[in-house]
Amino acid sequence: MGIVEEAHNLRVVGEGKRGVIVLAHGFGTDQSVWKHLVPHLVADYRVVLFDTMGAGPTNPDYFDFTRYATLEGYAFDLLAILQELGVSSCIYVGHSVSAVIGALASISRPDLFSKLVLLSASPRYLNDVDYYGGFEQEELDELFEAMGSNYKAWCSGFAPLCIGGDMESVAVQEFSRTLFNIRPDIALSVAQTIFQSDVRSLLPLVTVPCHIVQSTKDLAVPVVVSEYLHKHLGGDSIVEVMPSEGHLPQLSSPDIVIPVLLRHIQRDIAV
Amino acid sequence: MADDDDVDEPVAEKAAAGGSPILDLPESLVLHILSFLTDARSRHRVALACTRLHAAERATRAELSLRGDPRSPGFLFLAPHFCFPALERLDLSLVSPWGHPFLSSAPAAGASSSSSAQHLNNPEAIFEQNEFIAGRLAHCFPAVSSLAVYCRDPSTLTNLTPYWRGSLRSVKLVRWHQRPLNLPDGADLEPLLQTCTALRSLDLSEFYCWVEDIVMALTAHPAAAAALTELDLGLAGATNGFNSPQLGAIAGSCPNLSKLVAPCLFNPRFPDSVGDDALLSLATSCPQLTVLRLSEPFEPASTSQREEAAITVAGLVAFFAALPRLEDFTMDLQYNVLEAAPAMEALARRCPRIKFLTLGSFQGLCKASWLHLDGIAVCGGLESLCVKNCQDLTDASLAAIGRGCGRLAKFAIHGCDVVTSVGIRRLAAALRPTLKEVSVLHCRLLHTAECLTALSPIRDRIESLEINCVWNAEQPCGVANGTTECNPEVFQEKECDLEDDELGEVSYESASKKCRYMEFDDIDSWEMLRSLSLWFSAGQLLSPLISAGLDSCPVLEEILIKVEGDCRTCPRPASRTNFGLSDLAGFPVLAKMKLDLSEAVGYALTAPAGQMDLSLWERFYLHGIESLQTLCELEYWPPQDKEVHQRSLTLPAVGLLQRCIGLRKLFVHGTTHEHFMTFFLQMPNLRDMQLREDYYPAPENDLMITEMRAESWLRFEVQLNSRNITD
What mean pLDDT is predicted for residues A49-73?
Answer: 87
The whole-angstrom separation of Cα B699 and Cα B709 is: 11
| B616 contact A CB<8A | yes
Contact (Cβ atoms closer than 8 angstroms) between residue B653 and residue B626: no
What would the pLDDT profile of B634-680 be if each residue is shown by its tens digit? 999 999 988 777 788 888 999 999 998 889 899 999 888 878 888 88
User: Nearest-CA distance from A269 to chain B in Å?
Assistant: 31
Cis peptide bond upstream of B97, omega within 30: yes
Specify the higher pLDDT residue, A233 or B68. Answer: A233
Mean pLDDT of B628-638: 93
Over residues A2-30, mean pLDDT: 88
Q: Does the annotation mark A89 as catalytic?
A: no
Task: Tell me the shortest Cα–Cα distance from A31 to chain B, in angstroms.
Answer: 8
Set of chain A residues whose Cβ sits within 8 Å of the Cβ of B115: 1
pLDDT band at B353 (very low <50, low <70, confident <90, very high): very high
Which of B 634-693 lie inside 8 A of A, CB atoms?
A: 644, 650-652, 655-656, 658-659, 673-676, 678-679, 682
> Contact at 8 Å (CB) between B693 and B99?
yes
DSSP bridge pairs for B171? B147, B202
Instruction: Say yes or no for a CB contact (<8 Å) between A186 and B675.
Output: yes
- Do the Cβ atoms of A30 and B706 come within 8 Å? yes
* Model confidence at B96: pLDDT above 80: no
Query: B711 falls in which pLDDT band (50, 70, 90)?
Result: low
- Residue in chain A lying closest to B620 (CA): A161
In angstroms, the CA A226 to CA A216 distance is: 11
Alpha carbon of residue B500 to chain centroid: 39
The pLDDT score that the predictor gives to residue B278 is 93
Share of chain B above pLDDT 70, in %: 83
CB contact (8 A) between residue B606 and residue A10:
no
Inter-chain CB proximity B707 and A56 less than 8 Å: yes
Determine the residue of chain A that is closest to B603 in CA distance. A252
| Active-site choice (A30, A51, A77, A218) | A218
Give the pLDDT confidence score for residue B507 in this predicted structure. Answer: 37
Range of weakest confidence among A218-227, B46-55, B182-191, B531-540: B46-55
Read off the pLDDT band of B710 (50, 70, 90): low
pLDDT tens digits, one per residue of B551-566? 888 999 999 999 999 9
Can you tell me the mean pLDDT for A86-105? 94
Q: What is the dihedral angle through the alpha carbons of B138, B140, B146, B152, rounded to the nearest 10 degrees?
A: -60
pLDDT at B518 over 60: no
The pLDDT score that the predictor gives to residue B160 is: 85
CA dihedral B326→B330→B336→B342, nearest 10 degrees, is 30
Q: Residue B709: what pLDDT? A: 62
- Closest residue in B to A35 (Cα) is B704
| B74 burial level (CB within 10 Å; 0-12, 13-18, 19+) | exposed
pTM comes to 0.84
Confidence of residue B115 (pLDDT cuts 50, 70, 90): very low
Average pLDDT over residues B293-319: 82
Does the pLDDT of residue A53 top 50, yes or no? Answer: yes
Residue B281, pLDDT score: 94
- Give the distance from residue B39's alpha carbon to the nearest chain A alpha carbon, in angstroms: 34
Q: Do B651 and A160 touch (CB under 8 A)?
A: yes
Minimal CA separation from B555 to chain A, in Å: 30
C-alpha B360/C-alpha B358 separation (Å) is 7
B574 in contact with A, Cβ within 8 Å: no
Higher pLDDT, A58 or B557: B557
| B700 CA: distance to closest CA in chain A (Å) | 12
Average pLDDT over residues B177-192: 88
Distance from CA of A200 to the nearest CA of B (A): 28
Of the pLDDT bands very low, low, confident and very high (cuts 50, 70, 90), residue B8 is very low
pLDDT(B336) > 80: yes
Mean pLDDT of all residues in A27-36:
85
- Worst-scoring range by mean pLDDT, A216-225, B411-420, B448-457, B674-683? B674-683
pLDDT at B515 over 80: no
User: Dihedral sign, CA of B540, B543, B546, B548?
Assistant: negative
B11 touches chain A (CB under 8 A): no
Minimum Cα–Cα distance from B677: chain A residue: A183
Task: Tell me which chain B residue has its CA closest to the CA of residue A27.
Answer: B605
Catalytic residue among A30, A96, A122, A226: A96
Q: Residue B609: which of A32, A166, A170 has the nearest Cβ?
A: A170
Residue B116 pLDDT > 70: no
Interchain proximity B655–A247, CB inside 8 Å: no
Pick the more confident residue, A15 or A117. A117
> Contact A13/B675, CB-based, under 8 Å?
no
> What pLDDT, on a 0 to 100 scale, did the predictor assign at position B19?
58
Q: Answer yes or no: do B652 and A251 touch at CB < 8 A.
A: no
**Mean pLDDT, range A157-186, rounded to an integer:** 82
Contact B715 A154 (CB under 8 A): no
pLDDT tens by residue, B307-321: 888 889 999 999 999
Chain B partners within 8 Å of A183 (Cβ): 673, 675-676, 678
Q: Please check the confidence at residue B6 and state whether its pLDDT lies above 50.
A: no
Average pLDDT of span A90-111? 95
In chain B, the percentage of residues whose pLDDT exceeds 90 is 37
Contacts of B607 in chain A (CB under 8 A): 177
Answer yes or no: do A2 and B114 touch at CB < 8 A.
yes
Range with top average pLDDT, B309-318, B490-499, B568-577, B600-609: B309-318
Verify whether the Cβ–Cβ distance A245 to B712 is below 8 Å: no
Are the beta carbons of A79 and A72 closer than 8 angstroms?
no
Lowest mean pLDDT, pick from A44-48, A230-234, B37-41: B37-41
Name the maximum alpha-carbon separation found in chain B: 85
Nearest-CA residue of chain A relative to B684?
A157
Spell out which residues of chain A touch residue B619, defining contact as CB-CB under 8 Å: 161, 163
Cα of B679 to nearest chain A Cα, Å:
8
Asked if pLDDT for residue A94 goes beyond 90, the answer is yes
pLDDT band at B726 (very low <50, low <70, confident <90, very high): low
Mean pLDDT, chain A, rounded, equals 90
In contact, B559 and B533? CB cutoff 8 Å? yes
Residue A177 to residue B616, Cβ atoms within 8 A? no
Percent of chain A with pLDDT over 90: 54
Question: In chain A, which residues have their Cβ closer than 8 Å to the Cβ of B660?
Answer: none
Cβ pair B612:A154 closer than 8 A? no
How far does the CA of residue B546 sit from the closest CA of chain A (Å)?
A: 26
Q: Identify whether A247 is a catalytic site residue.
A: yes
* Neighbouring C-beta atoms of residue B128, cutoff 10 Å: 12
Nearest CA to B595 among B697, B546, B687, B668? Answer: B668
Q: How deeply is B80 buried, as exposed, middle or buried, from its count of CB atoms within 10 A (0-12, 13-18, 19+)?
A: exposed
Report pLDDT for B723: 67
On whether the CB atoms of residues B590 and B631 are closer than 8 A, the answer is yes
Q: Which residues contact B194 (CB under 8 A, 6 or more apart)?
A: B221, B224
pLDDT of amino acid A81: 94
A218 in active site:
yes
Name chain A contacts of B113, Cβ cutoff 8 Å.
12
User: Does pLDDT of B502 surpass 60?
Assistant: no
Measure B536 CA to nearest chain A CA, in Å: 24
The minimal CB distance from A159 to the residues B655, B675, B712 is found for B655
The residue that leads in pLDDT, A202 or B698, is A202
Is B605 in Cβ contact with A251 (below 8 Å)? yes
Interface test with A, best of B675, B676, B677 (most A CBs within 10 A): B675
Residues of A in contact with B626 (CB under 8 A): 159
Nearest chain A residue (CA) to B623: A161
Instruction: Decide if pLDDT at B512 tops 90.
Output: no
For B465-488, how does the pLDDT look when each residue is reduced to its tens digit (9 = 90+)? 999 988 865 444 333 333 333 333
**Which residues 92-131 on chain B approach chain A with CB closer than 8 angstroms?**
111-116
The shortest C-alpha distance from B86 to chain A (Å) reads 42
Q: What's the confidence (pLDDT) of residue B11?
A: 36
- Name which residue leads in pLDDT, B248 or B727: B248
Q: Which residues pair with B88 in a beta bridge?
A: none
**Position with higher pLDDT, B305 vs A24:** A24
- For residue B679, the chain A residues in CB contact (below 8 A) are 154
CA angle B438, B440, B446 (to 5 degrees): 130
CA atoms within a 13 Å half-sphere pointing along the CA-CB vector of B8: 15
Contact B674 A56 (CB under 8 A): yes
How far is residue B484's CA from residue B644's CA, in Å, rounded to a whole number?
A: 51
Instruction: Give the pLDDT band (50/70/90) at residue B712.
Output: low
d(CA A150, CA B708): 23
pLDDT at B557: 92
B705 interaction partners in chain A (CB closer than 8 Å): 32, 35
Tell me the pLDDT of chain B averaged across its residues.
81
Chain A contacts of B97, Cβ < 8 Å?
none
Note whether ipTM > 0.90 here.
Answer: no
Contacts of A6 in chain B (CB under 8 A): 114, 116, 711
pLDDT band at B301 (very low <50, low <70, confident <90, very high): low
As a three-state string, the secondary structure of B168-181 is: CCEEEEEECCCCCC
Half-sphere exposure of B267 (CA within 13 A, CB side): 12
Contact criterion met (CB below 8 Å) for A112 and A79: yes
Which helix (H) or strand (E) element contains residue B439? Answer: strand B437-441
In three-state secondary structure terms, B230 is strand
Residue B87's pLDDT band (boundaries 50, 70, 90)? confident
Q: Give the E-state strand segments of B129-169 in sequence order.
A: 146-150
The pLDDT tens digits of the residues spanning B13-54 come to 433 444 567 777 787 787 787 777 777 777 777 777 777 777
